[in-house]
Amino acid sequence: MAQVVLGVAGGIAAYKACELLRLLTEAGHRVRVLPTAAALRFVGAPTWEALSGQPVASDVWSDAHLVPHVRIGQQAELVVVAPATADLLARAATGAADDLLTNTLLTARCPALYAPAMHTEMWEHPATAANVATLRERGAVVVDPAVGRLAGPDSGRGRLPEPVELFRLASRLLARGAAVPDLAGRRMVVTAGGTREPLDPVRFLGNRSSGKQGYAFARTAVARGAAVTLVAANVDRPDPAGVAMVRVETTAQLYDATLAAAAGADAVVMAAAPCDFRPERYAPHKLKKDGAGLTVRLVPTVDVAAALGERKPAGQVLVAFAAETVTGAAAEANARAKLAGKRADLIVLNQVGTGAPGGFGTDTNAATVFAAAGDAHAIPPRSKDELADAVWDLVVPLLSGRPV
């Protein structure tokens, strides 16, 4: 497994890094924790040492004969800083080297992931924005903080993303190795989950989509440096680290939110499963079972992907999906017809239903991607994160003519 450096800066969210450390070590990685002196006021060295099995120091003088301020960075395969305070981001951006963590950031040549956590005003300050931009320009992945409860009574953007999502993001960076963040500076829109069309206040027409594949697209795009808006329909999962979340319920809401988010986006990935039909009439009160049957007339919903294709500006890449229960030539014909009808650049055909290698609710998926240019790319069964990365590999060349 990998050599990982976990830098911890002096913020109240330092306690959450303990959970991130546990996830990394349980995955088999060898983790060296480098807290700042301020971080040790929140979580003591014995905690970090017990959880990592490695010595902990914040200064460059401990074990000086081992030259730790150079060796730790040289040996690292990934550096994660969580939480990254405004002060730490400033020191990293300016190349300060006044403790063991900042020295390591200068010597490391591996991918670096920063997870900022601070009060909203500090995150939005022009100085912090400039420091974040500098780090991103140098190839670091700096995820936007989450929205939620902060220190004290305050709430807003500045909360550290959940440790499990930071772990998943770190895992994608390790999987990509030394690959550059090839979506840096790009704006991506991803949809996920299944819409629900209400019949009455307690019942709805829906589908089995879990949102896992859409969330994987969002997560892997962040790992590749993109700014991501995730439009999620009825998904009960932790928010992927670093994304801007928009939550919707119905297909009409998905349509409005996605078209609004797609303005100016470099690519849109329609991984959501919109309901194709909705009840013609909504009953304002719960329908009662009286022993008689119930007839519900269904009418078509708006085709969100087709609407995006119709309005797609020059250079924007549209990725549509075709979930099919048929196989072989029939499935391919359906997918290619949707590719043309929705004016998409790529369409991802995946088999769903009993016996399928992936699909709704699973952690794995398989697909064939058809391009508007006519070629096809088979993606064998793999994790949904790996499948998403394989599709992004096909999107990247299509963006080559679009300025960053």
The string of DSSP letters for 61-122 reads: -TTGGG-HHHHHHHH-SEEEEEEE-HHHHHHHHHT--SSHHHHHHHH--S-EEEEE---HHH
List residues bridging with 348 in a β-sheet.
321, 369
Q: Which residues are the active-site residues? A: 207
Give SS3 for 211.
Answer: coil
Q: Measure the CA–CA gap between 368 and 33, rounded to whole angstroms.
A: 42
Handedness of CA 17, 23, 25, 27 (dihedral sign): negative
Number of C-beta neighbours around residue 62 at 10 A: 12
* Residues 287/203, Cβ–Cβ less than 8 Å: yes
In Å, how far are 192, 212, 254, 285, 288 from 249, measured between CA atoms? 11, 17, 7, 19, 24
Strands (E), 275-341: 277-279, 298-300, 317-324
Place of tokens 């994987």: 216
